[in-house]
Structure 1
Amino acid sequence: MSALPPLKALQAFDALGRTGSLTLAAADLGVTPGAIGQQLRKLEEAVAAKLVAPDGRGLRLTPLGATYHAQIRQGFAALAEAGAVLREAAADVIVLSCLTTVLGKWIGRRMRDWTELGAQARISLVGSDAEPDLGQGAADLRIYYGGRTHPPHRTELFTDHIVPVCAPALIAGRPLSGPEDILRFPLLHIAWDPRFGANPGWAEWGRLIGTRPPPANLTYGLSGSAIDAALAGQGFVLGQLAFIGPELETGRLVIPFDLRLPLPEPYFLAWNPASLKKTGARAFHRWLLGEGRAQGLLSAPPAREPA
């Protein structure tokens, strides 16, 4: 006797036992009566026992088959219950989708603040540069950049700014007399995905200070990678302030001259209204909006004192 009969054979046998009819069992599983009969023969071979017997043009369970069915019915009931528990658990998890660098360098770093609030919501963070279909349940909330996608339910989160930053060791012993001196060091460039439009780079920052920078020494496809290169002392990067907060606080990155450029477009938060019915979802939604407002204030240029 096989330790574990084929699942399809067990399903066919269970359907016959539940419906009492070969025809109804076939309809229940969406197959032909012949397919049911074939699976039943496989089951009998696997367990080496006579489980069904002819009943006119159909089949019925033998006494041994009825005993066996009572046992496997408990197994299928347990599987159904486990599936229901899993669906219920999954249905209450709030999925937040973000651009990869936004997850790794911004909101992912702030999640400790959320957990310290003692919130009951269960959160799943997904980094993806592809825009999920919130209406189809691909995610519950999405942080994305720019206004090229238009979910029906969205709000502006914050507008970020970029500023030249580097590791302190890069400029140690090499004092900078003005912002143009930054251009004497290796420059790290970030090449955005074209679907996000053009991002301000060294050419734009050079116009801000009235000069023309040389070509960048290294180009990266992700902001996070370029920031990591700057942390490693490879050069200056125009870092988004939302992505370098902890590094600035700890002194791992420094801003020799605080001359900021705004990104062309803001970040947005989109959501599926049905998802806000999940446990803690509305509180999490409000928290995200608050974090966005706080970041907007941090990223904005410092107010100038009147002359």
Structure 2
Amino acid sequence: MRHLPPLAAVRVFEAAARHLHFTRAAAELGMTQAAVSYQIKLLEERLGAKLFVRDGRGLALTDLAKRISPQVTGAFDLLGDAFGSIRDEAASVLTISAPTSFGTNWLAGRLGAFQLSQPGLAVRLRVEDQIIDLMRGEADVAIRSGTPPWPGVRHQFVMRMAFAPFASPNVIARHAPIEDARDLLALPRIADEQWWTAWLGAVGLADCGDQPAGVYFDSQVLVGNAAINGQGVAMLTPGYWQAQIDSGQLVRLLPHVKAAHWQAGFWLVHPESKRNQPKIRAFRDWLMAEVRLAAGDDSDGILEPPGEATPTDGSA
């Protein structure tokens, strides 16, 4: 066990010894001169020796203080370097957590552009469907799906969860013509069943009878790839699959029908204490601009907030 004097008093001594002036030390430390004098007196009593004397020119160090002052300053420099390296590392790495589908299909392909705009920042993306503990530092920011608020974090709306029916050209050719929503009822579905139920309800087919046999997956990444491979019709988020749509691997069925929305949305969240960190501000500004760019004319309404929650980004 180290037998050290109170570190608050040692810190005051180090500043006063450098300045040879209690008032200047107080200004540096954000204290009153009386508080500085008290801490010096406390330290002198603990050591059983004087540290400062007054001469005709002002404040001077005693021989003891002259001997220990460089060592104390060096010790604080070492502490500053140690904690400074932590701050530098934290400032130079941004860790993002995102749901698997959003992170894999929407965010990952765009993050390179963000990193190029921030050359001093390393970016790490974690894709996971569990809600992680941001307060314990598991990530700096997260994209969450659901309905806020969540305890201890600020939230800002990013986009709605929109979905529409897609299939491969081969599936469409085998089942043509597909002219209205009822034509989809006989086609094999690649299910996330709740999305099918919501979409059919939105187009007036809530009581559509039993679903034909199909393949079930628990991730839109798997659902979309199954659709590309011709296994049936899938409900997909259009913005996730733009590259596959552009290449012709996926075709949107009934493009005149507006996408349906899940009741929740995607939200950017981060601890309240980190709201002013430059790396988080930079990511937030880039993300919101990228979402607006991807939405284009927003024909699917992904920029329309769900309405159940109030943002805590300062805009409300």
Q: TM-score range by the shorter chain?
A: 0.5 to 0.7
Q: Determine the C-alpha separation between the residues in 2 that align with 1:274 and 1:169.
A: 52
Aligned twin of 2:187: 185
CA contact (8 A) 1:95 1:123 kept: yes
Aligned residues: 219
Aligned twin of 1:253: 250
Aligned twin of 1:200: 195
Change (3 A) 1:202 1:233: farther
Aligned twin of 1:121: 121
Change (3 A) 1:185 1:87: same
Code of the aligned partner of 2:270: W
Once the two structures are superposed, the pairs formed by residues 1-307 of structure 1 within 5 Å of their partners are: 88-89=88-89, 92-117=92-117, 119-147=119-147, 150-151=150-151, 152-172=153-173, 174-179=175-180, 180-190=182-192, 199-202=194-197, 204-205=199-200, 208-210=203-205, 212=208, 214-215=210-211, 216-258=213-255, 259=257, 260-275=259-274, 280-297=279-296, 300-301=299-300
Q: Determine the C-alpha separation between the residues in 1 that align with 2:236 and 2:99.
A: 16
State the SS of the aligned residue for 2:138: coil
Code of the aligned partner of 2:94: I
Code of the aligned partner of 2:247: T
Q: Determine the C-alpha separation between the residues in 2 that align with 1:225 and 1:122.
A: 29
5+ residue gaps, structure 1, are 1-22, 26-80, 192-198, 303-307
Q: Determine the C-alpha separation between the residues in 2 that align with 1:232 and 1:268.
A: 31
Q: Determine the C-alpha separation between the residues in 2 that align with 1:287 and 1:125.
A: 15
CA contact (8 A) 2:175 2:187 kept: no
Deviation at 1:218, TM superposition (A): 1.5
Change (3 A) 1:297 1:176: same
Q: Determine the C-alpha separation between the residues in 1 that align with 2:92 and 2:120.
A: 11
Code of the aligned partner of 2:192: I
State the SS of the aligned residue for 1:263: strand
Q: Determine the C-alpha separation between the residues in 2 that align with 1:227 and 1:298.
A: 24
Q: Determine the C-alpha separation between the residues in 2 that align with 1:159 and 1:203.
A: 14
* CA offsets 1:85-143 (integer angstroms, 9 cap, x no match): 58843553111111111111111121133234354321111112221222221211110
Deviation at 1:183, TM superposition (A): 2.5
Identity value in percent: 21
CA contact (8 A) 1:188 1:219 kept: yes
5+ residue gaps, structure 2, are 4-80, 302-316
Code of the aligned partner of 1:247: Q
